[in-house]
Amino acid sequence: MAEIVAAASGAASSTRGSGFTFDPAAALPWAVPMLLIAPLATFLLALSSVRTRRSASAMAMFGTVVTLLLTLLVAWGLTRRSTPFIATYQYFSMSVAFSGASNFQTFGIQLALHADHLTVVALLAIEICMIATIGWHQVMGRTEPGAARFHAFITALLFAFAGILMSYDLAALFGFWAIAGAVTYLMLAHRWGLDAAASRARIALALPFVTDLSLLCGIAWIYARYGTQTLNTLLPILHTNPGWTVRSLVVGSVLLMIGIAGRLALWPLNWWITQTAVTAPPSASAIAQSTWSVAAIVVLYRLMPVVVASNQQTLRGCISACLVAAIAAPLLSLFGNEPRRAIALAGSGAVAVAAAVLMNGFQVQSSTFAIAGVAAVLAIAPAVAAGMLAIASIASAMRTDDLAEMGDAWRRMRASSGALLAAAIVIGLAVSGALAFGVRSRSFLGFALGDAVVLIAVAGLRLFLAASFGPLRRRRAFEPDRVRETPGALGWPYWLAFMSAALVVASMVTGWLNFLDGQKHPAPSAGAIVVWVLAAIIGFAACTVAFALSKDGVLAASATAGVWLGRGTAAVYGVIERFLIEPTTDIARRFGDWVPVGDSAVGRLTGLSGQLALAAARAPALPLVIVLAVVLALVFALVAPGVAR
């Protein structure tokens, strides 16, 4: 903090010329650390002084907007520089050895803040998603409990994401990562007073905990082999450090990939998103899905050189896993009629396609087109948030989470229905630019990813067609004529959809990729872009034809498939609970019952020994010695060989 204040005072007292002049590059020494300080200060203020719903929302909005303005200032300053801005603050350092390799003689954690174009763009995407979600939650979340706590969690999450995006020290990065994970669980479990919400929130704690632990183990494994955890010093010595082996890099790479895939919500590690999509507050679910995908894809992009340094088999295995996730997630979204779960799976599939493009860019052409995958996720995240907020508004007005019971939203709720349509179209088209840059359409990978794009387009448009057209049937205690829009929350999903559409267009422009990673990229052919856009259009057309023929038939088939999927999932859960959860909990219960019993027995034994010691102390010494001698003589006589025979 003292260094930040000194930098700010030095910038303020520097010599100025005539008139007003402002150099944004000179503001970077204090503006970059303020990206961490501003949301943290807002969180502390919200936690300590804010109590009412309106003031909590205003404080969260104020802190996020201030951080957004600081991010724009940093972006402006970086345009005047040809290199990233790096500020290093020593957290602690300690000597652990006095001999051996110099890398292993000291251990320390640095707060290495690395600000470049990719960092500020990713942070801007996160901040805009949060601002729109806060604005929507001000109106639609008025009945949610704990407003002060919920909005404080949003600012704490923004603080953690700012740390993740700017950290080049892996230990500091995981510290911010763990904070973001804990806050995400608290947001998804915000309705902990309800049995269904509390039950489903367990998966949001258990599964991310395992994947985050894998990330920690990967970082520890890399440090144990190289003695450094800063990316600037680690990446150049991956193949030159004494004692390095391909096997060690493979183990570290697999652990890192599992940790990142968990927060990217790639199938099958996306249960913490899909299982809480219905029970968590819609704003919490929207923030978790959109912001974590942006932060995790940036971390994946920066750690991919470690995976590339291992071997080609590991890299191909990671691409294959993303390919399976890209097809499985949107396909499973067609099983069942829960709209928020379906849009979460569609977004997960789109992110998996972008991750596959990123990894393929490192495999085929080094990092030339890998940045295209990051650009695709930057476009996907706001669209997923917009779709989640729009379908939540429709579900709230129609008082159902079943697509078969929805309908006529295009006439009754035109604004929310239009936002859902825009989000579905953008999600379907978001990866077209990345695929045009990084994947050949005639390859096996291109054919498989094309199938994934078709499924994503079908999964997204299905939600719009099911909720917007067809009759809205009267149900018990529900009157369709009372379904209407909620004033004040209509514009926020449109802003997110507009931003996402702009980022989709930008992802097809070579200059945008040049700006993100500072490299030169050749432009893709117009035919390549048309091919991948055509794949999404085929999905849109197929879904439209199916619903035009029989909406009820399509939704009935989805409901039947969802029932079978639920039965299969319940069977898997039953096996896991019988052979893993129940034995574990029974061991814990028995151990918990044994501990007080054992403590009581130890206490009684201790008391008895104390009484014996006290009695022995009070007894005369000479008679006691004589008795002990007689007892020992009898024992030796009885166990002697002759007597024993």
What pLDDT is attached to residue 422? 92
What pLDDT is attached to residue 403? 85
Across the range 557-583, mean pLDDT stands at 72
What pLDDT is attached to residue 458? 92
User: Does residue 635 lie within any of the structural domains?
Assistant: no
Between 14 and 571, name the one with better pLDDT: 571
Cα 636 from Cα 140, distance rounded (Å):
87
Cα 54 from Cα 369, distance rounded (Å):
45
Q: Are residues 322 and 191 in the same domain?
A: yes
Q: Are residues 512 and 388 in the same domain?
A: yes
User: Does residue 117 lie within any of the structural domains?
Assistant: yes
What pLDDT is attached to residue 413? 85
| Radius of gyration of the CA atoms of the chain, in A | 30
Residue 622 has pLDDT above 70, yes or no: no
What pLDDT is attached to residue 490? 77
What pLDDT is attached to residue 207? 83
Q: At what angle do helices 195-226 and 170-188 cross, to 10 degrees?
A: 170
User: Does residue 637 lie within any of the structural domains?
Assistant: no
Domain enclosing residue 585, as ranges: 577-619
Cα 440 from Cα 361, distance rounded (Å):
11
Q: Are residues 455 and 498 in the same domain?
A: yes
* Nearest in space to 431 (alpha carbons), one of 536, 300, 341: 536
User: Does residue 137 lie within any of the structural domains?
Assistant: yes
Cα 360 from Cα 575, distance rounded (Å):
37
* Nearest in space to 279 (alpha carbons), one of 393, 191, 193: 191
Q: Are residues 276 and 146 in the same domain?
A: yes
What pLDDT is attached to residue 640? 58
Q: Are residues 491 and 613 in the same domain?
A: no
Q: pLDDT grade, residue 5 (50/70/90)?
A: very low
Q: Are residues 182 and 326 in the same domain?
A: yes
Instruction: Tell me if 154 sits within 8 A of 134, measured CB to CB.
Output: yes
User: Does residue 20 lie within any of the structural domains?
Assistant: no
Q: pLDDT grade, residue 6 (50/70/90)?
A: low
User: Does residue 1 lie within any of the structural domains?
Assistant: no
Last residue of some domain: 502, 529, 549? Answer: 549
What are the residue ranges of helices labelled H in 470-620?
491-507, 510-517, 526-549, 551-576, 582-618
Q: Are residues 613 and 517 in the same domain?
A: no
Instruction: Tell me if 282 sits within 8 A of 340, measured CB to CB.
Output: yes
Between 559 and 257, name the one with better pLDDT: 257
Per-residue pLDDT tens over the stretch 126-155: 999 999 999 998 888 887 877 888 888 999
CA atoms within 13 A on the CB side of 64: 28
Between 419 and 583, name the one with better pLDDT: 419
Residue 7 has pLDDT above 70, yes or no: no
**Residue 462 carries which side chain, given as an amino acid letter?**
R
User: Does residue 24 lie within any of the structural domains?
Assistant: no
How many residues in the chain? 645
Per-residue pLDDT tens over the stretch 167-215: 888 888 999 999 999 999 888 888 776 777 777 777 788 888 888 989 9
What pLDDT is attached to residue 15? 46
Per-chain mean pLDDT for the chain: 82
Per-residue pLDDT tens over the stretch 332-366: 988 888 899 899 999 999 999 999 999 888 877 54
Per-residue pLDDT tens over the stretch 405-458: 888 888 888 888 899 999 999 999 999 888 888 888 788 888 899 999 999 999
Per-residue pLDDT tens over the stretch 109-126: 777 888 889 999 999 999
Number of domains in the chain: 2
Across the range 34-42, mean pLDDT stands at 90
Instruction: Tell me if 55 sits within 8 A of 152, measured CB to CB.
Output: no
User: Does residue 330 lie within any of the structural domains?
Assistant: yes
Percent pLDDT > 90 in the chain is 27
Between 641 and 193, name the one with better pLDDT: 193
What pLDDT is attached to residue 330? 92
Q: Are residues 581 and 440 in the same domain?
A: no
What are the residue ranges of helices labelled H in 309-369?
312-333, 339-365
Q: Are residues 378 and 464 in the same domain?
A: yes
Across the range 381-392, mean pLDDT stands at 92
Per-residue pLDDT tens over the stretch 273-322: 888 888 888 999 999 999 999 999 999 999 998 888 888 888 889 999 99
What pLDDT is attached to residue 8? 47
Q: Are residues 194 and 334 in the same domain?
A: yes
What pLDDT is attached to residue 325? 92
Instruction: Tell me if 233 sits within 8 A of 214, measured CB to CB.
Output: no
Q: Are residues 541 and 600 in the same domain?
A: no
Residue reference for tokens 């149900």: 475
Cα 458 from Cα 465, distance rounded (Å):
10
Q: Are residues 455 and 597 in the same domain?
A: no
Across the range 234-261, mean pLDDT stands at 87
CA-based max dimension of the chain: 115
* Nearest in space to 117 (alpha carbons), one of 250, 301, 290: 301
